[in-house]
Each structure stands twice: as structure tokens, then as C-alpha cells.
Chain A
Amino acid sequence: MIEVTDVSKTFALPKERKVTLREHLLGLVLGRGAGIESLRALRGVSFRVHKGEFFSVIGKNGSGKSTLLKILSGIYAPDTGGVKLGGTLSPFLELGIGFNPDLTARENVFLSAAVMGLHRSEIERLYDRIIGFAELERFQEQALKNFSSGMQVRLAFSVAFMVDADILLIDEVLAVGDASFQQKCYDVFRRLKGVGKTIVFVSHSMGDVKQFSDRVMLLHEGRIVSLGDPEKVIHDYQLLTAHEDERRIAMAERARAAAGETFRPPADGKRWGSGGAAVERIVFTDAAGAEKHVFATGDEVRARIDIAVTREGIASPRVTAAIHRSDGIVVMETRSAPLPPAGTGTRSVSLVFPAIELLAGTYYFDVGVAPEDARIEPHDLIKDCGSIRVYQDSGSLHGETAGICALAHEWRAG
């Protein structure tokens, strides 16, 4: 059981870190007040973790997650408030705590385990299992510096998971190792959860959080924003990041507009065509016509595409759009019917998705103007002309957890 009551923590960050005496003296002479910035990492955080619970903490970078873990583990002392722990605690804030490259694997196991609180006799008893789990039986007497980074990580993991504490603090350690080793670690997680260990887990991987957690807590700017059911809190988190992203992107767009830059010319190799007509811009809006960059699955998305025809004789061009992910997987390519005949000048078309079926992620739009005959080279084609971010609003979903696309589906009995 963990009880955290009204914990606050502020760091005084010198704007320029003074490390030497000269700098300190100079600081005193020149007035040091100007050099201090205070960072309020945690502001009055209170919560309880029950015995045997798998409790995850999520939040953006700088939200106070790591500070909270460090306070739970006693590395930092809180400014106010207190932490009560009902049992022994073992933090895995980093793998291989105490590892030294000049020592052998065996010596490092003993050193690291001692740092984490194991007695020599316990380590001796567990040693073969530790080395076995790491699959390093043949390399026990080799210096750690001769190990590949993967081998070092395996060894570190094996030591970490042998520690027999009631409460485990785990900070984002699952992000390492190859797939099969990761699987082993998941198994250990399940076992730890099964034997009733209390686990506090900090991660950015919503998949892991959802898979293991009993309850989730969302931190934002040092405060608890949401706490409870994993699905709900993860959703709150996605909403939070979506709003933040929207604000950030909109601000960047506004700054660009203010600078008189209407469209960023794409980098070399991202634009080609035979000329005569050009894509001018793509603007995403919601159903009401307000410009947006971040959408929830199921939202109406409208992409207005402006093109400029400069050559006589291109009366009825088609507009093309390809939606793809950053890894190149194309969700869909589509092209409009030939536009109604018109002369040169600027014209617009809108690509409307009444309820976008994309799942969480960032999607890029390649936009082009093509001749009526689709076999001929396009007049203009811009790769990654625009992009939208999609988050999943759990209210509009039917059980989809990950992927590209929400295909219409239902689950039936039998």
C-alpha cells in the first residue's frame, strides 16, 4: 500500500548552472536572483495505491511522472507532504543500477543486487537463475564492457526482476531489448502481478498501460488530472495531447501566416509534375468550416484543396489525394472526377469524410492535379502536402484499440 499526501516539489534551476567557486562568487557579486528559475514539478499530489494493484502513471514529458517516482523511492525529498509505504520497495528507475564496465558479469550481478538491497546469501541462491534468465551462462566471467548492449540490458533485467520487494516502481524499462526478450519481460510482469506485488508503472506506451493496469493516473503540469479506469484515463490523456497538439500546430500555422508564408515549398524530391497547373494548399476543417489539425476518429473531416491552373487548355483537371502514414503505408488513394470545364485561375475542391475511420496516429496527404487521362504524368504532385493527427475518442469506437482504420464491424455471440 502506498499513500501519498499532498506532495509538492519545486526545483530551483539556475538559468546557467554554476559549478565552480568562481561562478558562484561572480553570481553573488552580480546578483544571483536573476539566475534562478523555479520549476514546480509537483503541486499538491495526493493518491493511494492499494496492495496488489498495478498502478500506472501517464503524462507528457515534464508532467512530473519521474519526479513522483523519485519521491516515492526516496531519491528526492518532497518539499511538502509525505509518502507512506506499507512494505519494502524496489525501484527500477534505470536498468543495471551500479553496473561497472570493468567488472565481470558475475561481479556486476553481485554489485547491482547489493545496491538494490539483496543480501549476499540471497544473491548466491538466485545467481544461476539470474544468469539463466539473461541467457548469458557462457559469458559469466567476461568483463561487462565486452558485452553487446543487448546482452547488458538482458543482464540488467534479470537482476532487477529477482528483487523480492513488496512494491515495485518501474520507469519505462520495457522499451528495450528485442521482441523475444520483451515477451519474457511481459511474462514476468504478469507473474509479479499474479503474486500480488504492488506495482507503480510509468510509461508512454498506452498499449502496455492498458494491458497491465488496474488503475491509471494522468499527471499534467504537476497535478493529477484524471485517475481511475485505464480506458477512461488513457482517453483523457489522448484528449489532452490532442488539444495541446491542436494549439501547438495552430500557433505554428499562425506564425507562418503572420510571416507571410502561405505555403511551405516542399523539399527537393517531394514535388514534381509536368506543370501548367499547381496545388496551392490543403486546409483541413471541421463540419462548421473551422480550421483544425487534430481530429477524433469518427469526426467529420473536410480537406479543402486549392489549385491554380496557369496553362490554357487544362479545362477539366482531376484532383488526387493519397493518405499515408509516416512509415509509407498507404491507407487510400483517391482522385476526383474531372472538374467542370473552366479557364485559367484558382479553383477549389473539398474532399469530405463524413466520419473519418482512421485510428490514432498522424496521417499525411499527398495532393496532386492530374490530367483527365489518369495515365499521363500529373501537372503537379506534392508529397506530404498536409497532415492531420487523429486520436481515438472511446465514445465513438466499438472495441478498436490499435491499427490504421476502424472497419465497420460488430462482435456477436456464438
Chain B
Amino acid sequence: MRSSRARYFELVKVLGFTDFKLRFSTSILGYLWSVLKPLGIFSVLYLVFGRMLRFSDVPHYRDRLLLGIFIWGYFAEASTAGIQSLLGKSHIISKIYFPRSIAVVGASINYLLTFGINLCIVAAFFFIDGVGFSRYALLFPLYVAELYLIVLGISFLLSVAYLRFRDLAEIWTILITAGFYATPILWPIEQIADPRYRKLLYLNPMTFIVEYSRRVLIEGRIADDTGSVRTFLAGNAVIFAVSLLLFVAGFIVFRRVSPRAAEYI
């Protein structure tokens, strides 16, 4: 018999790929939807906000918007799927033992695949719009990893809670919508002129992820307007700590509560 770790890794893979397949297997355009959906949303938002509200004066607004939408889209979809992962796998959870975290990780892996495809589109847009590749772009995988930790942390915390409180799905949908407008995705963060309010925005970890990803990928710089890198480094430390903390907290709670998951179903 192989080690259980290898076995469980296999299970994450199979569950993740199966979900990915099932998401699109019944629609005519299939996998294309994973690309078409965010592109469609992007087109609408770009028309409304970029053209009509004139945000497109911001340099590379189109690329910034697209990157922001894809990052947020991953966060929204993966966290929603993560929260519902235990209940969604209830038919397996109540019948066989495996570490319950596998269901949660499997759900978010699935959306990581879509996110990967979407990033290729972003790259195409960058190419068309002449966005150069700087060495700072190498920091981007770090933000993806932090984003993934945040998603996992939230999924761990809320997936068990969701078994008891089915309202969570509705509440989360509202929070996601609110978050989309509270994070500088559509509007440039420079819109908030008052530095105090701008600081407030950074209470939201997604602001860091979105803004810093744009900075290293599109602007190709890490220094702020005054030429200092100190705020950037401090911000990175904060977001690293926050994402790690969220993940660890989520995991600890999950470890305590999840052995009883089958009873709550």
C-alpha cells in the first residue's frame, strides 16, 4: 500500500479535475466559458466605466481592469466554491473517510486552473497593449500564492460553518458583490484623494493583492510616487502575514471541527 499522503494527493487531483470537467461538460461551448465569462464581464465593465465614466484616461486602464477582474473573479468563485465544498461533497463525506480538507483544497484547485487560463489572456492583452515585462513581475507568483492562502483560509473557516448555517451562501454572495466595488478594480485607487481613506482601503487584503499585482506586472515598478520602496515592502510584509494568519487560523479551526463534519450533514 502506498503512503496515505500520495493517496490523498491523488484524491485532490481527481476531485479538482472532475469538478472542472463537470462545470463545463453540459454547456455547448464547454471550457471556452471559463474564458468567455470573465471576458464578457470585462467588456461590459470596460464600456460602462472605461468609456462612459472616462476612467480610460488612466494609463493602461484596460489592462489594469482585466487583471483586476480576473484576480477578483478567482477570489469570488474559489471562495464561494470553497465554502460550499463540504456540503457539495456530502454524498462522499458521509460515506467514506478521507481528510476533509481534501474536499476544500480540491474545490479551490479547480478554480486555480481557470485562473491560469485567464492569465494567458491577460498576457495576450499585455502584448497587444505593449505592456513590458519587468523583473518585478517575478513577484506576481507570490501574490497568487497569497491569494490562494486567503481563499483557503476563508474556505476552511466557512465551509464547516456553512454546514450549520445555510444562510452563509447568500451572505457571501452579497459580501462578494460589495467587495468588488470596495476594492479598486473598476476605479483607480487614485480616485480616493484623501490619504486617510486610501489607507482605510488597505484594510482589505484584496486591495494589496490587486494593486501590487498591477504594479509589478503593468507598471513594472515597486517604488511609490516619492521613489521610496519602504511602503511597498511594508505592504508586502502585511499581506504576507495576513494571508498566512488567515490560512493558519482557518486550518486550526477546520482541524478541530471537521471530524464532526459528517454528523452535520
Contact = CB atoms under 8 A, between A and B. Distances in A.
B197 interface: no
A119 B10 contact: yes
B63 to A, nearest CB: 37
Contact of A21 (B11, B97, B165): B165
Nearest to B4: A117
Interface string B225-240: 0000000000000000
B176 interface: no
A74 B97 contact: yes
A111 B91 CA distance: 13
Contact of B263 (A11, A24, A93): A11
A54 interface: no
Interface stretch (A98-106, A193-201, A218-226, A390-398): A98-106
A100 B263 contact: no
Interface string A10-28: 0100000001111010000
A389 to B, nearest CB: 35
Contact of A116 (B6, B15, B94, B96): B96
A119 B6 contact: yes
A77 B22 contact: no
Given A73-B96, A115-B96, A120-B10, A103 B22 contact: yes
Contacts of B116: none
Interface residues of B, number: 30
Given A11-B263, A102-B26, A119-B6, A75 B18 contact: no
Interface of A is mostly: loop
B137 to A, nearest CB: 35
Contacts of B1: 88
B167 A20 contact: yes
A114 interface: yes
Given A75-B95, A102-B25, A111-B18, 15 more contacts: A11-B263, A21-B165, A21-B167, A22-B167, A74-B97, A76-B262, A97-B92, A97-B95, A98-B91, A98-B92, A103-B22, A103-B25, A107-B18, A107-B21, A120-B10
Interface of B: 1-2, 6-7, 10-11, 14-15, 18, 21-22, 25-26, 91-98, 164-168, 259-260, 262-263
